[in-house]
Amino acid sequence: MGTSTWHRSPETEEWRRVRELYAQPGVSPREVVARIVAALDPDTRAGMSAPAPVTCLGALVEGAQLVATRGMAATLDHLGVGREPAAVQMAAGLRDRAERIIADEGLASRFGDLALEAVGTTALAIATLHTAGAGIMEVPLSVAESNFARFHRDRRLHDIAALFTGHELDRSFRHFVARDVADFVGGEGLPTVSHANRLQDAVAARCREARKALRLDDYEDALVPTLTMAPAERVVRLQPVMAAGIDQGLAWLGAGGG
């Protein structure tokens, strides 16, 4: 698939059209994203909803359900991490949980590595909801608990799936850009490394916006029973949810939505 960071993107006409944007002044993140979507081959698209990313989604859903039924303190103890700062510890604990399952089940992949990064950023986003102005380290355990628990109690686990999809697209598209932009630093489009970094950040932000366009409500009933399932069963149950999120997100990004 050519997804390793140290490999350039494939030598196809579609990827050539992506790379040519990096040489242009005032490169548009929206256009970069749309052209990357057009360049993705079927295997790469499938990799973004393969068992490892699905396992990461499962860890986040499990986390929300555990917090709703046991409380945040007990969940953090269950995950084997400290209690403060709660947002950071929850993110670390869920990432470790997903990483252990991926290793035990032999599911490791490049997109799995990227999805593990997305577990942490998604968990932080959930824990810090409605805390504008407060730093991650300052969010009380009670607030993080309320933010996680409400997704289960309000039957909005599908919103976690949408949020995670946006963050997985963020990490994946950062990767797609990063493997090529170094060749263009110093040119008109990307005069400095800072310009390249800002482009990656803008592309990632654009990808996170895709979550607003996702319609995963119909999958709520599929998400609810996953807490009691074995890892392999959970992958089978959640793979259609992850695939739908990725397909819808890529369609919206490819069409220049928003």
Residue 24 lies in a domain: yes
Phi, psi at 35, each rounded to 5°:
-70, -35
Q: Tell me the whole-structure pTM to 2 decimals.
A: 0.95
Beta bridge pairs of residue 185: 190
Q: Residue 26 region, left (φ>0) first, then alpha (ψ -120 to 50), else beta?
A: left
The helix (run of H) or strand (run of E) holding residue 189 is none
The label of the residue with tokens 């409605």 reads: 130
Residue 225 lies in a domain: yes
Residue 5 lies in a domain: no
Residue 6 lies in a domain: no
pLDDT per residue as tens, the chain (258 positions): 333 445 789 999 999 999 999 999 999 999 999 999 999 999 999 999 999 999 999 999 999 999 999 999 999 999 999 999 999 999 999 999 999 999 999 999 999 999 999 999 999 999 999 887 678 898 999 999 999 999 999 999 999 999 999 999 999 999 999 999 999 999 999 999 999 999 999 999 999 999 999 999 999 999 999 889 999 999 999 999 999 999 999 999 999 877
Residue 2 lies in a domain: no
Total domains in the fold of the chain: 1
Residue 127 lies in a domain: yes
Domain hosting 223: range is 13-254
Residue 7 lies in a domain: no
Q: How far is CA 197 from CA 24, 111, 243, in A?
A: 16, 21, 29
d(CA 88, CA 180) in angstroms, rounded, equals 32
Q: How far is CA 66 from CA 31, 72, 84, 224, in A?
A: 40, 8, 18, 12
**What's the burial of 218, exposed, middle or buried (CB within 10 Å: 0-12/13-18/19+)?**
exposed
